[in-house]
Amino acid sequence: MPTDVAARVIANRPLSSDYNVLALAAPGIAAAALPGQFVMLRPGTGGDPLLRRPFSVFEILRDRSGAATGLTILSKRIGPSTSLLYDAREGQRVACLGPLGRPFTIVDPPSRAWMVAGGVGLAPFATLAQTLRAGGVPSTLFYGARSGAELFYLDFFRDLGVELVLTTEDGSVGERGRVVAPLDRRLSSLAPADPVMLYACGPEGMLAATARTAMQYGRACEVSVERIMGCGLGGCYSCVVPMRGGDGAFHHVRSCLAGPVLRADQISWDKD
């Protein structure tokens, strides 16, 4: 059951001129959140921006006893709300509603898990990687960004034993180009009897390319879609995604309720 709190900003760490990690005191939401779920945040106190914005739960903060004390979000500044989140000060309050949405399906060994992240699409994978590690699932993160300066938290994933496959558009770190290229190569060389689950989050073009690659090799894939969300609760229909039904016809589902994690092979990628 989601709860709505005026969460206190515990810390705000800039990672670059656009990215920051904001820590919020929201113990109830943090304790209930599952990998892939999100919160709706409103940082301002006035009416602008009026609507909350969706953010993946990035990390769960815990005290020494292991009890959840809060959560962080990884934010990329692109407009008014993310600018306020970038500039947020310790002690300030942020309206925080969550946890919301459908989480990732967690696989068990012997299946491997391959996470595919583009830019700020890294956000849902910190908690997913921790959960997979706890379950003993061998994990790989395919992580692409524009440049090496926009690849974050690499040591966090290395410390969890996650294999990293990095790509950058400018070639400054890892392979030059898009993250789907090494994913395709890996899938082509994986024995068909070796089970693997793909999880993807990032720009829609990257999600579509990942979904097509997964389908080409007959691999299960879940994507976390990032549609514009007005409410996060199913009331406004701003977040719909065209999905194929069992009869082959497509219909629209609200990604805040049915998602944000959806089966890649059921999304109608060429329709909107």
Ligand X SMILES: Cc1cc2nc3c(=O)[nH]c(=O)nc-3n(C[C@H](O)[C@H](O)[C@H](O)COP(=O)(O)OP(=O)(O)OC[C@H]3O[C@@H](n4cnc5c(N)ncnc54)[C@H](O)[C@@H]3O)c2cc1C
Segment lying near ligand FES (by CB under 6 A), choices 30-38, 146-154, 235-243, 262-270 = 235-243
Shorter beta-carbon distance to ligand FES: residue 53 or 178: 53
**Per-residue tokens: 219:** 């691999």
Asked whether position 231 contacts ligand FES by CB under 6 A, the answer is yes
Shorter beta-carbon distance to ligand FES: residue 24 or 239: 239
- According to CB under 6 A, which one of 69, 130, 172, 238 is a site residue for ligand FES? 238
Asked whether position 237 contacts ligand FES by CB under 6 A, the answer is yes
Beta bridge partners of 7: 94
Distance of closest approach, residue 228 Cβ to ligand FES, in angstroms = 8
Shorter beta-carbon distance to ligand FES: residue 101 or 144: 101
The SS3 call for residue 235 is: coil
- Amino acid identity at 120: V
Shorter beta-carbon distance to ligand X: residue 67 or 78: 78
Shorter beta-carbon distance to ligand FES: residue 16 or 237: 237
CA dist 59 and 266 (Å) reads: 29
Residue 134, contacted partner among ligand X, ligand FES, none, CB below 5-8 A by kind: none
Distance of closest approach, residue 185 Cβ to ligand X, in angstroms = 28
Query: Considering Cα of 78, then 82, then 84, then 89, what sign does the dihedral take?
Result: negative
Residue 238, contacted partner among ligand FES, ligand X, none, CB below 5-8 A by kind: ligand FES
Distance of closest approach, residue 270 Cβ to ligand X, in angstroms = 18
Strand-pair category, 112-118 with 196-201:
parallel
Beta bridge partners of 115: 141, 199
For 27, list phi and psi in degrees, rounded to 5. Answer: -60, -40
Shorter beta-carbon distance to ligand FES: residue 79 or 136: 79
Torsion of Cα atoms, 129 then 131 then 134 then 140, to 10°: -20
**Per-residue tokens: 14:** 């800039």
- The CA–CA distances, whole Å, from 134 to 2, 57, 106, 175, 222 equal 25, 18, 11, 30, 20
Cis peptide bond prior to 80, omega within 30° of 0: no
Asked whether position 230 contacts ligand FES by CB under 6 A, the answer is yes
Asked whether position 251 contacts ligand FES by CB under 6 A, the answer is no
Which chain residues interact with ligand FES by CB under 6 A?
229-232, 234-239, 254, 256
